Structure 1
Amino acid sequence: MKVEIWSDVMCPFCYIGKRHFEQAIEKLPFKNEITVDWKSYQLNPEYHNTNNETVYDYLSRSKGMPIEQAKQMTKQVADMAANAGLKLDFDANIPANTFNAHRLIHLAAKHGLQDQAEEKLFEAHFINSQNIDDLSVLIDLAEEIGLEKAEVEEVLKGDQFSEAVRYDIYESQNLGIRGVPYFVMDRKYGISGAQPVEAFTDALTQSFTEWKATQPKTTLTSLNKNDDAICDENGC
């Protein structure tokens, strides 16, 4: 069963949601029958950090709140992340446009490394305080997950996968997705936000049960009255 996840790598709840989702998957006996497809979403597509803004500056300006309120808000998010096993560093976090990061994720998907790219970008942005709008940073991260530097440079310095990113965003709008993370299961059920692990296990179990019931049989019902006149591993 396919699960599509709309996400933005500058969204802390997307990182927390990813971890909760992964923890839920590990609890399921059918985990090997789940495939994940990460979809692009941009929370602020027009944003570019040209003035060395901190995350507190960014939140204060974009949400119209005092710096101290922005710090308190991010502390609550950091506490939630810590419960998921993540240590987010908002003090050094660099707000960034994520369009090129999403293009990199699409390139990684071409090589079967999409989830690794998603994880590496979250880690770079929220834990290692790297600028994920810096092409040199993206190239280094891509090499770390096994992508070839020459191909990554060609993609990032050109326009490849731009339409793929835009299509993901267009598709999210058609599905009525207005925030991330958003998890779509078998194009039938959706669950939004960094839900608790139990919410994911319940939703996945329900979705998988219904999906499995629609799949073609993998074993046949025998109409034989006996098993005579056959050869098997024991002979004829």
Structure 2
Amino acid sequence: MKVEIWSDVMCPFCYIGKRRFEQALAGFEHQNQVEIEWKSFQLNPDLKTNPDISINQYLAEIKGFTIDHAKQLNNHVTQMAANEGLTYNFDKAVVANSFNAHRLAHLAKKHGLGDAAEEALFKAYFTEGRNIDDNETLIEIGVAIGLPANEIKQALETQLYADEVKHDIAEAQYLGVRGVPFFVLNRKYAVSGAQETGIFSDTLSKAFADWQLENPKPMLDIIEGESCGPDGDCG
């Protein structure tokens, strides 16, 4: 069964939602039959990368808040993250457009490292205060998770994977996604937001039950003969 997750690297609830979903998946008895696919989404496609302003300043400007109110909101989210074992350092976070980070994530997906890329990018942004729109930073992140440096450089110096990012965003609009994180299970059920772990667990069970009905296990009429088993026994 496939679970598609639309997310943005600079979305604080996306990292929290990732952890809560992972907790639900860890307790799901059929987790080895669940395929996770990360999808790109941009909360602010027009955002200009600006390391000279703080996240609190950025939030205050786009939302019309005072900086003190922005700090209060970020402190609240920081505590939510801490409850999931995550460390948020909004005082260090760099205001950065996430488009190139999403392109790196698509390259990682090609190598079967999509989840590792999302985790590394979230940590770089929220915990380490790194600029996720800086090519050297993205190369370091990619190499650290096992991507070839030459492929990362080629992607970042060209427009590779730009169409894939745009396709994900267009697909989200088609599905009616209005915010992230957004989890789509078996293209039948959806969970919007960083819901509690129990919600993810219930939805996983419901979606998987439907998926099993749609994809029944083949019932083979087996003629037995001499063979070798995975434990090395032959007979």
Is the structural similarity TM-score above 0.5? yes
Shift, 1:91, TM fit: 1.1
Q: What are the equivalent positions in structure 2 for 1:62-211 lying under 5 Å apart?
A: 62-211=62-211
Shift, 1:51, TM fit: 6.2
Contact 2:102 2:165 in 1 (8 A): yes
Distance in 1 (CA, whole Å) between partners of 2:190 and 2:22 is 17
Distance in 2 (CA, whole Å) between partners of 1:76 and 1:208 is 34
Shift, 1:69, TM fit: 0.2
Deviations 1:15-36 (A, max 9, x none): 0000000010000110000000
- Amino acid across the alignment from 1:12: P
Task: Tell me what 1:29 maps to.
Answer: 29
Distance in 1 (CA, whole Å) between partners of 2:196 and 2:76 is 16
Q: Name the CA shift for 1:51/1:200 in 2 (closer, same or farther; >3 Å).
A: closer
3-state secondary structure, aligned to 1:120:
helix
Shift, 1:83, TM fit: 0.6
Shift, 1:149, TM fit: 0.8
Q: Which runs of 5+ in 1 are unaligned?
A: none
Contact 2:51 2:95 in 1 (8 A): no
Q: What are the equivalent positions in structure 2 for 1:10-21 lying under 5 Å apart?
A: 10-21=10-21
Task: Tell me what 1:40 maps to.
Answer: 40
Q: TM-score, normalised by structure 2?
A: 0.94
Distance in 1 (CA, whole Å) between partners of 2:53 and 2:141 is 23
Shift, 1:53, TM fit: 1.4
Q: Name the CA shift for 1:151/1:233 in 2 (closer, same or farther; >3 Å).
A: closer
Distance in 2 (CA, whole Å) between partners of 1:201 and 1:67 is 37
Q: Name the CA shift for 1:231/1:49 in 2 (closer, same or farther; >3 Å).
A: closer
Aligned-pair Cα RMSD in Å: 1.8
Q: Name the CA shift for 1:107/1:231 in 2 (closer, same or farther; >3 Å).
A: closer
- Amino acid across the alignment from 1:113: L
Shift, 1:92, TM fit: 1.0
Q: TM-score, normalised by structure 1?
A: 0.93
Task: Tell me what 2:5 maps to.
Answer: 5
Shift, 1:50, TM fit: 3.3
Query: Which entry has the higher C-alpha Rg, 1 or 2?
Result: 1
3-state secondary structure, aligned to 1:131:
coil
